[in-house]
Structure 1
């Protein structure tokens, strides 16, 4: 392997056969390059899927009020279900063992004004737990806390785009904005990976919203963060018990599917994970198929290369070279060319993927990438099979008698 004379001989052979060397290396580099690009694009597709479906917490149950579709216990159908604060208290009392937090929600769209700047935004009246449900990340200040809800404080946390619209580059912390005729102090600025719509919201304490709505205790919805350790089965059981509890409390027929709507993210998550697994399988098969194509290409090239050198090998054997030394020389040359070309293809593919970034988002491919370990593993596999592809015809050629090899045309 470290024989100086052999390396000199290999470099001389390469320099005298530039076209053959180039074609061999190009086949290897192209195989790895295509593998890296296709595998990276597949990962970019997975990134888009995750940003669409997995940008919020995954241990959530959302509960929405609806209208009944069936009469029950003296109540007529088409009755609007009303959630109130005591629903939150009752759920905490009866299902505390399943829950990490619960946050009510009241949704409004109103004009928000700061000095001469104003626009309409979505106002979410919530409790502190909502920060974890929506995976809200604070850029400045703090989020709504329990003291704010208990004291009905007129505090607000605004989205990044709301800040840009109303305040420009100025920090909004401590400033007051007009929310539906009431002045609210800005205590925080948040960002949300869910996108622009999420960052055009403002959050206020739900109790303050109720105070503004003539001191009512009504709620539009609530979200429950269940304990992840209960798993998928526990989450589905919790959903069923919660549904039955709310139907009993609000006098809804057991078979009525429209009085209350429950969305269990655990169920959606399982479906999304199954879809993500299918994507992973597709990406893997694409990668394996590309590697197989590369291996076949290398094999064909190596068969041609050895065949072309049959007369040369005959001369070497006539001069006293052993079959073992002939095979070792061809293998060393094959591994050297395959290694150099393989890593050129690998780094070229990674460079292309890194330059793409979000430019392919319109085609549902976001931040394509490939793990360096995966790329190196694929390159090593190609090198190994390149060596095998060189060994088999080299071994066959080394067995040919010198006189037969010298007659080869």
Structure 2
């Protein structure tokens, strides 16, 4: 392995057969290059799913009222279901074991004004625990608290881009008053959100305040709750079924009516989509491995030709006393050397291509395509192993040839 004469001989052989060496290395380089790029893009797809779903808490149910499609308990079909504050309190009381947090949510959209500036934003009437769902990061001031809910205070927490739009780039909105639906709200906090610009062009006010200014009702648009993650995925699915049955019974909805209540289980959606992403990555991985194997087969075929071309030379070596293992070692070392160098070149080119992509493929749901060090090391080891195998098979066959037969080869 460390024989200087052998390495000198290998380099002399490579110089004399440049085209053959190039073709041998090219098939391997192309195989590992395609494998690296495809695997990296598969990781980019998973990153896109993670970025899209992990911005908000995943142990979350979004519960929406619907419209019944069947008559039940004397109520006609087509009845619109309306959630109220007591629904939240009842869930708190009857499902306390499962709950991590729960918040009413009232969805509104309208013109928000500050002095001479105005723009249209989403306004959410929420409770303090809604922050846990959105993973809101406070930049200035504070978030809504229970005092705001109990006293129906006219305060607002605004997104970073809302502050920039209405107050200017370097202004401080804390303590200022904004107007929504002819009601003035004092800004008590400014937040940022990793979910992007749309998540930062939102305002939150106490849901009880919004109910007060809207004819003093107790109606809510939806309920957002987080369950205790210790119950696991199976427990979350059982909780979803129990909660659905409970709300249907409370609101007189037929058990088989699937339109009266909707529950969006984010954890289940995330799991399904991540399984889909994993399947796609496995398909991409199989394609990449297939390409890698094709490259190894290519170098194997070329090594067969090399051994055949050098049959007389190998016969002379054996006639002069070379052992079969020395013949095998020579061919094997040349095959491993070419495979390792070509594979390394393919890896480097593949990594450079992935880095040059960056986030340019976000529109195609591929974010930060990359390959981990462990994967690269594993691919290199596998590549060298198969390169050795590709050289060993023809070398072993050559080592078995009798010297007299090899010397007669034309």
Q: Tell me if TM exceeds 0.5.
A: yes
CA contact (8 A) 1:149 1:205 kept: yes
What is the aligned length? 408
Q: Does 1:191 pair with 2:159?
A: no
Deviation at 1:233, TM superposition (A): 2.9
- Which residue in the other structure is 1:94 paired with? 94
Q: In 2, Cα distance between the equivalents of 1:389 and 1:255?
A: 63
Q: In 2, Cα distance between the equivalents of 1:225 and 1:116?
A: 40
- Which residue in the other structure is 1:284 paired with? 285
Deviation sequence 1:227-283 (CA, Å, 0-9, x none): 122223322322232223223333334444333222223443443243234223313
Q: In 1, Cα distance between the equivalents of 2:263 and 2:349?
A: 49
Q: Does 1:15 pair with 2:15?
A: yes
Change (3 A) 1:258 1:335: closer
Q: Give the 5 Å matches for 1:335-346.
A: 335-346=336-347
Q: In 2, Cα distance between the equivalents of 1:372 and 1:58?
A: 29
CA contact (8 A) 2:24 2:299 kept: yes
Q: Give the 5 Å matches for 1:24-173.
A: 24-53=24-53, 55-173=55-173
SS state at 2:223 partner: strand
Q: In 2, Cα distance between the equivalents of 1:167 and 1:154?
A: 19
SS state at 1:197 partner: helix
Change (3 A) 1:164 1:290: farther
Deviation at 1:71, TM superposition (A): 4.3
Change (3 A) 1:192 1:147: farther
Q: In 1, Cα distance between the equivalents of 2:285 and 2:140?
A: 42
Q: In 1, Cα distance between the equivalents of 2:305 and 2:171?
A: 69
CA contact (8 A) 2:27 2:296 kept: no
Q: In 2, Cα distance between the equivalents of 1:294 and 1:80?
A: 63
Deviation at 1:168, TM superposition (A): 4.4
In structure 1, the gaps of 5 or more residues are none
Q: In 2, Cα distance between the equivalents of 1:141 and 1:329?
A: 73
CA contact (8 A) 2:106 2:222 kept: yes
SS state at 1:216 partner: coil
Deviation at 1:123, TM superposition (A): 0.5
Q: In 1, Cα distance between the equivalents of 2:10 and 2:75?
A: 92
In structure 2, the gaps of 5 or more residues are none
Deviation sequence 1:70-104 (CA, Å, 0-9, x none): 44445444433332222211111110001100010
Q: In 2, Cα distance between the equivalents of 1:336 and 1:308?
A: 19
